[in-house]
Amino acid sequence: MLSISNTQLSLTACTSTGSGSSSGFFSFPTWYEYLCSSSNGNPQITNINDIWLIVLAIINILLRVAAMIAVFYIIYGGIKFMTSQGNPEEINKAKSTVLSAVIGLIICVIADVSISFIAGQIQ
């Protein structure tokens, strides 16, 4: 937050109530991840941008769910590949499943990093 009084310019830092960047990619953030906290530690909504921070945190949660689903599909494609018994059609289906899941996982990781950056700029 930036406050200007008379000719003084002071910059006060916002302490985030969420777990921040210390959490791993496959852990779920809280819906108030990017909000500032009050003196007692509760999240507080002070302006309209805070609504967008909540929306970004919810999108971040959904991206992590999608990433977990992508990891499941990578495992599923690997199992399909191992059980294809040399059938070229089944091998191609399994490769396609794994490739699609890896691309989805990469998109989730890039989107997660982008949302964290955007939320940091809004904060």
pLDDT tens readout for residues 57-87:
899 999 999 999 999 999 999 999 999 998 9
Q: How far is CA 72 from CA 10, 47, 69, 90, 98, in A?
A: 49, 39, 5, 18, 10
Which carries the bigger pLDDT value, residue 70 or residue 11? 70
pLDDT tens readout for residues 80-105:
999 999 899 999 999 999 999 999 99
Q: What is the pLDDT of residue 89?
A: 95
Contacts of 27 (CB under 8 A, 6+ apart): 19, 64
Q: For residue 70, give the amino acid letter.
A: A
Q: What is the pLDDT of residue 99?
A: 97
Q: Assign 26 a pLDDT band (cuts: 50, 70, 90).
A: low
Which burial class, exposed, middle or buried, applies to 88 when counting CB atoms under 10 A from its CB (0-12, 13-18, 19+)?
exposed
